[in-house]
Amino acid sequence: MMVLRKCKVLIPFLLLAFLLAACSSTTPQPGTKTVIGAAGGGAAGGLIAAAAGASPAAIAGSVILGGLVGGLIGDRLDAADRREAQAAARQALETTPTGTSVSRQNPDSGNSGTYTPTRTYQAESGQYCREYEQVIYIQGEEHKAYGTACRQEDGSWKVVN
């Protein structure tokens, strides 16, 4: 019952975050990456706090803090950074040996990063999957992420967590 009450408190914040993201057009404009980063950060912050059993006030604070952090990170990455990161991810997942990093750098923004497959395995479904570590340096600040991607029937890779 407590979780249901917390979700009711969280839903308005999440809806606001996604509505703000939906207001941006598909054409890249100044501020679009900030809105998307803020929406994603706010949603993640709220969901993590709710899953941890935090109070409604703590959940609201987590949504706000997550939105601020996500907005700052989104504001600092441009389209070229994202394209380079996607190309590095494809190369790392497709052809790079486990434990070897694929590096990228945007000379215009100074942002850089690495994408490193850390484990390769075949899932019960028969799909080949790779766990990875992604490190992004934005104006010298390091941001790490970990996940798993699995090869789809069409040959593309899909992040599954």
pLDDT in tens, 75-86: 666 778 888 888
Residue 151 CA to residue 19 CA, distance in Å, equals 32
User: Degrees (nearest 5) of the Cα angle 27, 46, 43?
Assistant: 15
Strands 102-105 and 157-159: unpaired
pLDDT tier at 161 (50, 70, 90 boundaries)? confident
What is the model's pTM?
Answer: 0.53
pLDDT in tens, 43-88: 666 667 666 677 777 777 777 777 766 665 666 667 788 888 888 9
